[in-house]
Amino acid sequence: MTEKVHTMHEPADESVDSAARSTGGVAAPANKLIFSVNDLSVDYGAFTAVRDVTLGIYANDITAFIGPSGCGKSTVLRCFNRMNDTIKSAKVHGSILYHDIDLYGPTISATQVRRHIGMVFQKPNPFPKSIYDNVAYGPRLAGLKNKSELDELVETSLRGAALWDEVKDRLKSSALGLSGGQQQRLCIGRALAVKPDVILMDEPCSALDPIATARIEDLMQEIKQQYTIIIVTHNMQQAARVSDRTAFFTTEVNSESDRRTGVLVEYGRTDSIFSQPVDDRTEQYVTGRFG
């Protein structure tokens, strides 16, 4: 399976290879391939939002999806934990292999997938419950009832999200009383409490001020030691700062229907995407001449 991804056609693969070559000087061993996405397309009714995406995601990397709005980067992200299932008109074609298991296979439960692959959303969305109950929500679903175990898990998760010191004295007060940045870190902590393998982040900083954004970015660097992170961002500087690999998406106008469909243009190590992009469209975008 892994082989197949690497021998794929299209600029995506070529750039993976070229990226590998361009980082040849670095001695770090190549990370394990955790996702391989093959010919992924998503339709909303008759409209194709994004098509023919093929790429591989590596463990303990931060992978950034960038591109102009409407390019389908969030749509692709929501395929990794089957959140597109919640949109009734959405249809997913192609496959996403997660540790060689097809996430869209017939026996796979979206609910279980989401326990392995957590998600943080664009707008902080804590539940209207206490801080503690927000973090304990996922573990409780899994049947964890033991009070001391829960307490410990809440603490480690909040520490993991660099929020513990700020909220340890008011765990029982409403999560809605926190600032936007704190709420977003709470949502990260809430995702960590489920002990996921991968964390998907859908423009997690777009509703935050620069200081809160910086804290989330630091946090991402800390937790990537244990987790694989995929982040969608509209902010190129952010992608350049935090990510190891970058995938650039753009829109193509369908000549017949005049609808826009997202496509993957180029994928590779972040430094090469930003310094030596292979595709003209990538270059135009990262140098600010487009999008």
Partner 1 sequence: MTAVIDNTSPAPAMVPLLSDLSSVSGRRRNKNMVMTVLMGVSVVVVGFVLLLVLITVVRKGWSIVVSEFPKWFTKDIQLSPRRAGPGMKAAIVGTIVATATATVIAVPLGIAGAIYLNEYGKRSAFARTLRFLTNVMAGVPSIVMGLFIYVFWVVPRGVDGLNAFSGALALACLMLPIVVRSTEEMLRLVPQNLRDASLALGATASRTTLTVVIPKAAPGIISGSLLAIARAAGETAPLIFTVGAAKATNWNPFSGTNTSLSLQIYANAKESFPTAQERAWGAALTLIALAFLFTFGARALSGRLSRTTES
Partner 2 sequence: MALALDDLKSKNQTADRAFRGATLAGGATIVIILGLIAWTIADKSRLAFKTEGLSFFTEPRWAPAANVYGALSFIYGTAVTATIAVLLAVPVSLGIALFTTQVAPSWLKRPIVAMTDLVAVVPSVVFGLWGIIFLAPKLTPVFKRVSGWFHGVPVLGRIFGPASSGRTFMTAGLILAIMITPIIASISREVMETCPLTDRDGALALGATRWEMIKGAVLTHSAGGIVGSVMLGLGRAMGETIAAALVIGSSAAITANVFSPGDSLPSVIAFEWGEATSDVKRSALIAMGLTLFVMTLIVNFVATAVVNRSMKRMRGES
List interacting residues with partner 2 (CB under 8 A). 81, 83, 86, 88, 110-112, 114-115, 118-119, 121-123, 125-129, 137-138, 141-142, 174-177, 187, 190-191, 194
Least Å distance, CB 168 to partner 1, is 12
Q: Which does 216 bind (CB under 5 to 8 A by kind): partner 1, partner 2, none?
A: none
Among 14, 197, 217, 252, binds partner 1 (CB under 8 A): 197
Binding of partner 1 by 1 (CB under 8 A): no
Q: Is residue 2 within the footprint of partner 1 (CB under 8 A)? A: no
User: Which residue lies nearer to partner 1 by CB, 162 or 278?
Assistant: 162
Q: Is position 92 an interface residue for partner 1 (rule: CB under 8 A)?
A: no
From partner 2, partner 1, none, which one binds at residue 101 (CB under 5 to 8 Å depending on kind)? partner 1
Window contacting partner 1 (CB under 8 A); options: 72-80, 154-162, 176-184, 234-242: 154-162
CB under 8 A, 24+ apart: contacts of 92-95: 92/40, 92/41, 92/42, 93/39, 93/40, 93/41, 93/42, 93/43, 94/37, 94/38, 94/39, 94/40, 94/41, 94/52, 94/53, 95/37, 95/38, 95/39, 95/40
Question: 71-87 burial string, b = 16+ CB within 10 Å, else e?
Answer: bbbbbbbbbbbbbbbee
Check binding of 146 to partner 1 (CB under 8 A).
no
CB of 281 to partner 1, least distance (A): 35
Helix (H, G, I), strand (E, B) or coil at 198: strand
- Reduced to 3 states, what is the DSSP secondary structure of residue 123? coil
Within 10 A of 152 (CB to CB), how many other CB atoms are there?
11
For 1, residues 6+ apart whose C-beta sits below 8 A from its C-beta are 36, 97, 100
Q: Which does 55 bind (CB under 5 to 8 A by kind): partner 1, partner 2, none?
A: none
Local structure of 228: helix, strand or coil: strand
Q: Name the minimum Å distance from CB 227 to partner 1.
A: 6
CB of 165 to partner 2, least distance (A): 21
Q: Does 159 bind partner 1 (CB under 8 A)?
A: yes
Is 246 exposed, middle or buried (CB count within 10 Å of its CB: 0-12, 13-18, 19+)?
buried
If one asks whether residue 222 binds partner 1 (CB under 8 A), the answer comes out as yes
DSSP H/E element including 5:
helix 2-6
Residues in contact with partner 1, counted by CB under 8 A, come to a total of 32
- Chosen from partner 1, partner 2, none, partner binding at 162 (C-beta under 5 to 8 Å by type): partner 1
